[in-house]
Amino acid sequence: LLPPDVYRQAVSQADLAISITDPKARILYANDSFSRITGYSAEEIVGLNESVLSNHTTPRELYQEMWTALQAHQPWSGKLLNKRKCGGTYLAEVSITPVHNAAGEITHFLGMHRDVTELH
Ligand code: FAD
């Protein structure tokens, strides 16, 4: 019913920052809102790990909690202090979902976030 191009256009044009990574959080795709919020163009960010967004002030336990959920095939959501390419920080409300293949293995992660700095 829905032409395949519409999925692509919808993700590309979504107001949320959307990225798709490999199982090690290496970015394979980022939409326009991701570039707008982070300051990285799609060309710059593809191939880098999502950890480039880390401001390195988020407690390690939070990342451990994130990865424990993701490895258990569960989605994770929470707030992270992120760093833009230019260096400024912002509070990101992040949601990460494991993407499975037909065999039930995690092949990718879908990351979605928005800048909630002004709401706090
Ligand atoms: P790391 O060394 O990467 O990790 C810190 C701890 O996390 C480690 O001690 C380990 O316990 C655990 N860990 C890391 N990688 C793995 C793995 N592959 N498997 C199991 N455990 C692991 N981080 C942000 O700061 N901001 C974001 O916006 C953000 N978005 C993300 C979106 C997606 C889709 C995914 C999959 C991850 C995202 N991350 C984000 C997490 C990011 O990949 C890093 O794990 C995190 O930034 C910490 O990076 P680090 O280099 O400080 O520490």
**Going residue by residue through the chain (120 aa), what tens digit of pLDDT does each one get?**
899 899 999 999 999 999 999 999 999 999 999 999 999 999 999 999 999 999 999 899 999 999 999 999 999 999 999 999 999 999 999 999 999 999 999 999 999 999 999 887
Pocket of ligand 1 (CB under 6 A): 19, 21, 24-25, 49-51, 53-54, 56, 58, 60, 63-64, 67, 71, 80, 82, 92, 94, 96, 109, 111, 113
Which of the listed residues 27, 54, 58, 89 should we mutate to test ligand 1's pocket, taking the one with most ligand atoms within 8 A of CB?
54
What's the CA gap between 116 and 93, in Å, rounded? 6
What are the distances in angstroms from CA 31 to CA 21, 42, 73, 95, 112? 12, 7, 24, 15, 10
The interface predicted TM-score of the complex, written ipTM, equals 0.95
* pTM, entire model: 0.94
